[in-house]
């Protein structure tokens, strides 16, 4: 093991979904070992089953601590929590799998807090299974925020030629509009600016979406939400020297951002931001939680129960999420 390679922890997600399969397929690529040390937190026997499903040739090394990992290509080092029963049915919602997915993430956060790993890359979990397993969270992002004591955070999605950061995420549309306030919009603009500057963009061009069609068109649509909730935040951020403009109509803004007019779009609610990213391709989308004390990236797709167990799930999104975790990692990397 080389000390200046970051250790990237991959959490297995829901064991009944495609997570184990895409992990095994991704770690069959030697490129992931060139600049980093991959480490899985999950169940070793589930990874072994997934390896058979995808007809892989990797070995699984069941370990109990980071120090036991060999980080050698051809062997998957797995901190084995041994939570999944042999009888678990692939492709079905399971309380056991939901509880295990939570525990994998909890273990990863503990390792990150203790500086044992450098970043977390998450395979998908299932929200229904998570709830049935006794953990009432909307998803990964909220678990991470809760377990790290983080109040100001946001979900950023990336795809080829497009980055989107969200003011609100997992809530109904009426609730989301009620939650959009100038203070929150201003904080998300700041998170976007800070994140892209850390990524090497000196003066990020930030564009902000409106809420209503045509961004309200001067009060023609809606009840003045843009003037009340968004414009004060933009004006405040501009005075602070941030390169931000808007609010823009969402129906044209994503096209403009995709062609290169802006570096990132601030979306007001879940589907406003997720839709354009997913049109560009589920296989290439990456979810990054910003504002946390821990680096966390994720695939931008779900557990895909309909194809789990078939071995056909595409690992491209996981590999891209992993690469971005390496890029954001605080340790010096080997080029």
pLDDT at residue 335 is higher than 50: no
pLDDT at residue 217 is higher than 50: yes
DSSP β-bridge partners for residue 295: none
Q: In the block, which residue shows the tokens 């969402």?
A: 250
pLDDT at residue 2 is higher than 70: no
- What's the rounded mean pLDDT across residues 165-182? 92
Residues 141 and 166 in one domain: no
Residues 140 and 165 in one domain: no
| Residue 284, in any domain of the structure | no
Residues 48 and 82 in one domain: yes
| Residue 97, in any domain of the structure | yes
pLDDT score for 283: 61
Average pLDDT, the chain: 91
| Residue 24, in any domain of the structure | yes
Residue 1's pLDDT band (cuts 50, 70, 90): very low
Residues 24 and 141 in one domain: yes
Percent of the chain at pLDDT exceeding 90: 71
pLDDT score for 26: 96
Give me the phi and psi of 52, to 5 degrees please: -70, -40
| Residue 231, in any domain of the structure | yes
Could you tell me the CATH number of the domain that includes residue 45?
A: 3.40.718.10
Question: What's the pLDDT tens digit per position in 94-130?
Answer: 999 999 999 999 999 999 999 999 999 999 999 999 9
pLDDT score for 120: 95
The domain total for the chain is: 2
Question: What's the pLDDT tens digit per position in 50-74?
Answer: 999 999 999 999 999 999 999 999 9
Residues 144 and 100 in one domain: yes
Residues 202 and 128 in one domain: no
Residues 167 and 142 in one domain: no
| Residue 1, in any domain of the structure | no
Residues 17 and 103 in one domain: yes
Residues 41 and 95 in one domain: yes
In which domain, by residue range, is 198 found? 161-276
Residues 117 and 211 in one domain: no
Query: 3-state SS of the chain?
Result: CCCCCCEEEEECCCCCCCHHHHHHHHCCCCHHHHCCEEEEEECHHHHHHHHHHCCCCCEEEEECCHHHCCCCCCEEEEEECCCCCCCCCCCCCCHHHHHHHHHHHHHHHHHHHCCCCCEEEECCCCHHHHHHCCCCCCCHHHHHHHHHCCCCCEEEEEECCEEEEECCCCCCHHHHHHHCCHHHHHHHHHHHHHHHHHCCCCCCCEEEECCCHHHHCCCCCCCCHHHHHHHHHHHHHHHCCCCEEEEECHHHHHHHHHCCCCCEEEECCHHHHHHHHHHCCCCCCEEEEECCCCCEEEECCCCCCCCCCCCCCCCHHHHHHHHHHHHHCCCCCCC
The pTM for the full model equals 0.80
pLDDT at residue 4 is higher than 60: yes
| Residue 156, in any domain of the structure | no
pLDDT at residue 177 is higher than 70: yes
Residues 237 and 268 in one domain: yes
């Amino acid at each position: 093991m080389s000390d200046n390679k970051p250790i990237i922890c991959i959490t297995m997600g829901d064991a009944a979904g495609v997570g184990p399969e895409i992990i095994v397929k991704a770690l069959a690529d030697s490129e992931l070992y060139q600049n980093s040390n991959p480490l899985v937190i999950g169940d070793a026997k589930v990874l072994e089953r997934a390896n058979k499903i995808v007809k892989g040739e990797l070995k699984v090394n069941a370990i109990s601590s980071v120090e036991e990992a060999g980080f050698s290509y051809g062997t998957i080092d797995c901190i084995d929590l041994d939570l999944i029963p042999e009888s678990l049915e692939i492709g079905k919602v399971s309380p056991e799998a939901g509880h295990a997915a939570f525990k994998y993430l909890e273990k990863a956060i503990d390792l990150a807090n203790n500086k044992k790993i450098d970043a977390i890359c998450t395979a998908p979990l299932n929200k229904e299974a998570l709830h049935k397993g006794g953990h009432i969270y909307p998803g990964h992002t909220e678990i991470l925020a809760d377990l790290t004591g983080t109040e100001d955070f946001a979900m950023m999605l990336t795809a080829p030629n497009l980055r989107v950061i969200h003011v609100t995420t997992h809530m109904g549309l009426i609730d989301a509009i009620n939650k959009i306030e100038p203070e929150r919009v201003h904080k998300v603009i700041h998170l976007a600016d800070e994140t892209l500057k850390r990524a090497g963009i000196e003066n990020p061009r930030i564009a902000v979406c409106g809420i209503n069609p045509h961004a309200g068109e001067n009060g023609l649509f809606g009840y003045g939400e843009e003037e009340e909730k968004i414009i004060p935040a933009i004006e405040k951020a501009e005075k602070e020297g941030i390169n931000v403009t808007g609010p823009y109509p969402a129906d044209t803004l994503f096209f403009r951002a995709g062609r290169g007019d802006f570096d990132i779009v601030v979306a007001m609610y879940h589907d406003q931001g997720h839709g354009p990213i997913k049109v560009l391709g589920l296989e290439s989308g990456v979810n990054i939680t910003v504002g946390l004390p821990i680096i966390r990236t994720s695939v931008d797709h779900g557990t895909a129960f309909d194809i789990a167990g078939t071995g056909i799930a595409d690992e491209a999104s996981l590999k891209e999420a992993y690469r971005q975790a390496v890029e954001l990692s605080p340790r010096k990397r080997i080029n």
